[in-house]
A and B are shown apart, each in its own frame.
Chain A
Amino acid sequence: MRLSNSEPLSDEQLMLNYGQGDAAAFEQLYQKHKGGVYRYFLRHCSRADVAEELHHDIWMKLINARETYQPTAKFTTWLYTLAHNHLVNYYRKNNKAQLLDFDDVAEPEDELPELDKQLTHSRQAADLISQVESLPAQQKEVFLLRHEAGFSLEEIANLTKSSFEATKSRLRYAMAKLKKGVSYEQ
């Protein structure tokens, strides 16, 4: 199957086509996923230059792996697994591996404010990004994979090699902290 077909191709098919020499297939993949991957790194590192370096590394890995790619899983799972592993290595190189430790404290649910109304204000939304960047690394990881890449909790658990329950807890803690953080900004 080639790109001349009007039917949109899956990410997996695009990657296979790129492996067979179709450079336009890679460009489609890149345009579709570049934002999510870049912001995944940017939120973790909070530095555009580092995020660009990591982003570049990941896409180069993908280019180099074009011939060996097998669609045994979703393309995005493969892409973000590469990104996750690269981030772990980045933390190790910079002696920040402890950031991946799970150091959450549970937030009581009954203290949650009415954020669906609060977040209509632009300043609060802008503050939300800084709140995300200040999350503990593992909570941030789960949050970003959920809201940047669109993975389900089960997919996130598989990707990060964590249990489903632990993943679910991390996301819950992350959301709780974000809600609390934004409410304090009012």
Chain B
Amino acid sequence: MSNKSNIHDDAIGQAYQQQSNELPSSALDQQILAASRKAVAAKPTPVGKTRSWRNMPFIPAIAASFFVVAVFWAQQEPDNETRMPQAEVAPMSISAPALLKSAAPQMAAQSEPEVAMLADMATPETLSPLQGVITQRAQAWWLITQEQEVLIHTPPSNIADFAQQPVTVQGVLSQRNGVTELTIKDIKLD
């Protein structure tokens, strides 16, 4: 283009810019500016900055809560070293001494006298029903099963009603001074 035409182009451009002054409505301006403010207000986290633990103060609080609960739970839990092993449910064919031995396996590694002494001090265990016959000997009541004879400890007042009859007994079996004792919880005629 020639210099003459360049001058003309500038004149056209200037004239256009002087006259071209329309603007969007103020309502549209407000709508757009409100949207721009809402967009950043909805998500105030700066872009490009990584999340920091300082921006999430609730995380340490949650961790502290978990720690407190864990400590409380650990205190409620019996220590494995002090907990007595759970006794197996004794089948009818297993004698009380054998049951006591199985209930305390650590005893097996000990000498026989120690086992006997420990057996005498054994904690009573709940057993499954025993079947046998109720018999009275020397002012004491006994349950005679196929495998053993069990001394009935503190017999119920109606024990005489079951004398010499086959019964099923539920109760707590224990070993004391070499004698197997039974504390009856329930007794039924067969």
Contacts and interface: CB of A to CB of B under 8 A. Distances in A.
Q: Do A and B come from one complex?
A: yes
Interface of A: 18-23, 26-27, 30, 34-35, 38-39, 42-43, 48, 51-52, 55-56, 59-60, 63-64, 66-67, 109, 112, 114-116, 119, 124-126, 128-129, 132, 146-148, 172, 175, 178-179, 182
Q: Is the interface of B mostly helix, strand, loop or mixed?
A: helix
B44 A59 contact: no
A34 B36 CA distance: 14
Interface in B133-166: none
B36 A30 contact: yes
Interface of B: 1-2, 4-5, 7-25, 28-29, 31-33, 35-37, 39-41, 43-48
B33 A56 contact: no
Contacts of B21: 35
A38 B20 CA distance: 11
A129 B16 contact: yes
6 contacts: A27-B33, A30-B33, A42-B22, A63-B36, A116-B10, A125-B18
A69 B14 CA distance: 33
B3 to A, nearest CB: 11
Please indicate which of the listed interface residues A48, A147, A182 has the most CB atoms of chain B within 10 Å of its own CB.
A147
Given A64-B39, A178-B12, A19 B23 contact: no
Contact of A30 (B4, B18, B29, B40): B29
B36 A27 contact: yes
Contacts of B46: 20-21
A126 B19 contact: yes
B44 A21 contact: yes
A66 B39 contact: yes
Contacts of A182: 12
A30 B39 CA distance: 15
A38 B47 CA distance: 29
B31 A56 contact: yes
A26 B36 contact: yes
B20 A39 contact: yes
B15 A119 contact: yes
B119 to A, nearest CB: 77
A109 B5 contact: yes
Contacts of A21: 40, 43-47
Please indicate which of the listed interface residues A39, A64, A132 has the most CB atoms of chain B within 10 Å of its own CB.
A39
Contacts of A56: 28, 31-32
Given A39-B20, A112-B4, A175 B39 contact: no
Given A38-B24, A66-B39, A179-B12, A128 B7 contact: no
Nearest to B25: A52
Contacts of A34: 23-24, 29
Contacts of A147: 13, 16-17, 20
A180 to B, nearest CB: 11
B28 to A, nearest CB: 5
A177 B19 CA distance: 18
Contact of B20 (A23, A109, A129, A178): A129
A129 to B, nearest CB: 6
